[in-house]
Structure 1
């Protein structure tokens, strides 16, 4: 991004707070798309609204769903909007929200009213503001959780909602709250994270605070602050989060260059000791020091798919695999019906783009499963399908270079045929349509980054850089790029080569990431064998919406 555009972004925010654009949206809904001020297109993001490629009158919209939790009325309202305005499908995002497509400016007053009528909002779903707060998708019924994260998640969401003290941050701001000893909310790559821990000295469960995670072009692992707050001291927990956020908001050096405006760069400049000191200065009370003995779990990948017992005796949740996070309104209606008839009506969304239906008594499992299966849902699927993720892709996103939704389905379908169970943990494949890492390709076992490649005849084709070896948890590591600009239709064959080699040569039950990092890049490139793949059919470079 040029210096002129960087200055322009800050100028636009100074001229009008992004949250104030709502009144203009109502005006444009009457006056029409052609009357929209160019600066307001950027400000629309503060209300979850993006221009949709090819920018000819349509928008996509993210709805804020803290912790991925929806009651039945809320979920049905989103489903109705999907049918009426979204051409019959929506996407689950990697931040536990739902994204609608094909929206038009005149529809937004009705959309806002219907969302707010069921207690939902899109305010803060995008823009330079606190985004959707993610948390454990099984919060409140996970038998392994250390603490139910819902009270803290809701308190943080309430604090930032329409809070103009924090509506002009240097860039986006992502917060995660983790209550399980298996940290599936990927707290290490969020800007700010709260991670539950049982203090060994007195058995008190509380939260540690991590700051400065992030991916995109320069991935960073979050660093731990020297602060611990008991989980039931919610006001103090929010106060620490406020202080962290003020450090970010007031760091003027982050506003000089848009590509270096994330909180991770402030942590890299200050380090955890100074950051802790600055946070403590902003508190009028003294928090405990971090509890000794904490370390991240050795097992952080959990997709919640399948049928699982809840901590409430006699109740279960069904975790549905929604490959690429895309489902139809017909399928959404089935989920709503099953949740209402056989559970308590609630639905949960996960950051792996899957869906949970909780609180199902044992006697209701079989009829619930029958209705879900009839609608095309699956929960007993190979692990490689359960953990696959993809971003929006070129179908709708202005930043994307490649199609992703159709591609990830084609890749997974092929790999299931040739490597039906890669190994007991499952190989996580993250497909991104550009370098921005919305699908978190830096931390997948295999990460695919969209690009364009020039063929021998000079033609341009969609392609992917193939990365391998990402992992989170105790031994967190990022992927390493092995082969650049692999034509998209060859990717699935190269991945089959590497997975099959891993299966044949892994030692002592090692994980895929460990296996990848004990090989040189040259060895891994030879294993991918891109140049040796022949006769592979090519898929179309663009795709219409494909149901889950």
Structure 2
């Protein structure tokens, strides 16, 4: 195989636009200049979002919530992981009709970024103490390696930052039009079957570029994932830029480069560029893709500002050519795709490490933990000689470095604190976003509803003990923070009509989505069936009905039974009701 790029397309002039595009400027810095074309771009041009930290520390924390300038509160605060949370008591029917200031409370969600998902027990204990002292005990593990706290007051933010940064954590660029937290394999450096350890590259990107003013004004949010594990455990297909471990037949271990993935209301799976990236080049290639997005990404319309829209217009061949010619200055070697995943990437259960010790992966209820439970888990890990933990992109938590004789102690101790290492299929595979409890965009409840659904399904489907986990993802609005289009059963929050014709909270149903896994070689988005909606109270009954229909109808192949996703895409609409 050649080690140079085969791409021969000539780069289009900087002023050129695809013929199908509007003649209006798209706000591409490299094409149209830097004149802001909307209020959000004007806000960023007026003052870099990173600069708001000084005002928070010197003015807002001292003078209180009422002193906060509007463009900081509803704009730049995001650059430091802060959003106002939803005011209690406002029903989902009013989400789209009220102004932001009518929906918001005087408290904040604070997002702690955990690049690579790697935590020490000291760091986890610090987050647990912050939760109990400043956030009413709240803590959610997200599906992006973050820990989210709620009920945070602006007066307490400087002290929270001081404590986090004292142990090597931060909220820098946890939100905003910036490089968000970097997803990394939760078993990096410890898995016996690891292809390549991405830890150095993750740490180098975070060290050099997170908080860099040159990269803190991107067109929209920008998501990164790196894994060197054969389970492909970082949902790389739905990140803006991703590096997937493989062994090149000539160049050895390295990474396959993906770009342009993202979900929300216009889902699009990322694409391979066909390029191989060696470990030492990962940071510079990441920087090149990021700068390309900064300079060529669309800024006029925010609903078209993600990298996926640029990739859709350019195509992978042109994207690679511009990346190499303008931002790298050299051609990347060609590379093959990574082999299909070999096992589950959620890492739930007890697994042996390459050093003979074990890691224990456990599932909370849909990412919901608490300050006290985090403190207890830190104590538990240290009691068996461990100081390392990991978060996963599936809202799970791992305790690393457990001696064989203490595995049972850890499994029991996690269970006592609401984390299950031997979960039912639905406890294992259900994730949920924040929902109407705290989110200003939400229409329906998610976390509490998901807990009720999981408990009910454990009873309803308990006779199907051998059932392969069927991913159930529950989202409170159309924005897909819980990745509804890539779940076996994805539920998108909206108002629906019940049997008596009343508008009530419910969900539109997506079926048969999924990313690359041991049971699915090719990722794909779920299908929707016209009129297929369920009320919040009817979710468990619907899931039981459709799962039992799948079990009755699935075909037995030569190697394995038909998966739920395969069945859902071939089944007629009547079977999916």
Q: Shared topology, TM-score over 0.5?
A: yes
1:241-280 correspondence to structure 2 within 5 Å = 241-251=286-296, 254-280=298-324
- Are 2:442 and 1:400 equivalent residues in the alignment? yes
Q: 1:356 to 1:298 in 2, by over 3 A?
A: closer
Q: Determine helix, strand or coil for the equivalent of 1:176.
A: strand
Structure-1 residue corresponding to 2:98: none
The one of the two structures with greater contact order (alpha-carbon pairs below 8 A, sep at least 6) is 2
Q: 1:195 to 1:331 in 2, by over 3 A?
A: same
Distance, in Å, in 2 between the alignment partners of 1:56 and 1:217 is 26
Q: Deviations over 1:125-152 (max 9, x none)?
A: 0000000000111111111210111111
Q: 1:366 to 1:226 in 2, by over 3 A?
A: closer
The runs of 5 or more residues in structure 2 that have no matched partner are 1-26, 28-35, 88-103
Structure-2 residue corresponding to 1:53: 86
Q: CA deviation at 1:123?
A: 0.5
Q: CA deviation at 1:328?
A: 2.1
Q: Determine helix, strand or coil for the equivalent of 1:218.
A: coil
Q: CA deviation at 1:375?
A: 3.2
Distance, in Å, in 2 between the alignment partners of 1:515 and 1:298 is 20
Show structure 1 runs of 4+ deviating over 6 A. Answer: none
The runs of 5 or more residues in structure 1 that have no matched partner are 529-548
Distance, in Å, in 1 between the alignment partners of 2:372 and 2:481 is 27
Q: CA deviation at 1:431?
A: 0.6
Q: CA deviation at 1:425?
A: 3.2
Q: Deviations over 1:405-437 (max 9, x none)?
A: 011111111111122347553101111101111
1:318-357 correspondence to structure 2 within 5 Å = 318-357=360-399
Q: CA deviation at 1:238?
A: 1.1
Q: CA deviation at 1:318?
A: 1.1
Q: CA deviation at 1:269?
A: 0.7
Q: Determine helix, strand or coil for the equivalent of 1:348.
A: strand
- Are 2:411 and 1:363 equivalent residues in the alignment? no
Q: CA deviation at 1:330?
A: 2.1
Distance, in Å, in 2 between the alignment partners of 1:237 and 1:303 is 24
Structure-2 residue corresponding to 1:238: 283
Structure-2 residue corresponding to 1:33: 65
Structure-2 residue corresponding to 1:108: 157
Q: Determine helix, strand or coil for the equivalent of 1:56.
A: strand
- Are 2:188 and 1:136 equivalent residues in the alignment? no
Structure-1 residue corresponding to 2:266: 218
Structure-2 residue corresponding to 1:23: 54
Structure-2 residue corresponding to 1:477: 524
Distance, in Å, in 2 between the alignment partners of 1:58 and 1:395 is 13
Structure-1 residue corresponding to 2:42: 11
Cα contact 1:155–1:238 (8 A) shared by 2: yes
Distance, in Å, in 2 between the alignment partners of 1:284 and 1:274 is 14
Q: Deviations over 1:14-41 (max 9, x none)?
A: 1111111111212111111012111102
Distance, in Å, in 2 between the alignment partners of 1:101 and 1:6 is 34
Distance, in Å, in 2 between the alignment partners of 1:135 and 1:270 is 28
- Aligned with residue 64 of structure 1, among 113, 130, 144: 113
Q: Deviations over 1:247-290 (max 9, x none)?
A: 110125x1111111100001001101000001101355534423
Q: Determine helix, strand or coil for the equivalent of 1:358.
A: strand
Task: Between 349-358 and 282-291, report the one with greater CA deviation.
Answer: 282-291
Distance, in Å, in 2 between the alignment partners of 1:261 and 1:104 is 32
TM-score (norm 1): 0.91
- Matched residues, number: 515
TM-score (norm 2): 0.86
Q: Please give the root-mean-square deviation of Cα atoms over the aligned residues, in Å.
A: 1.9
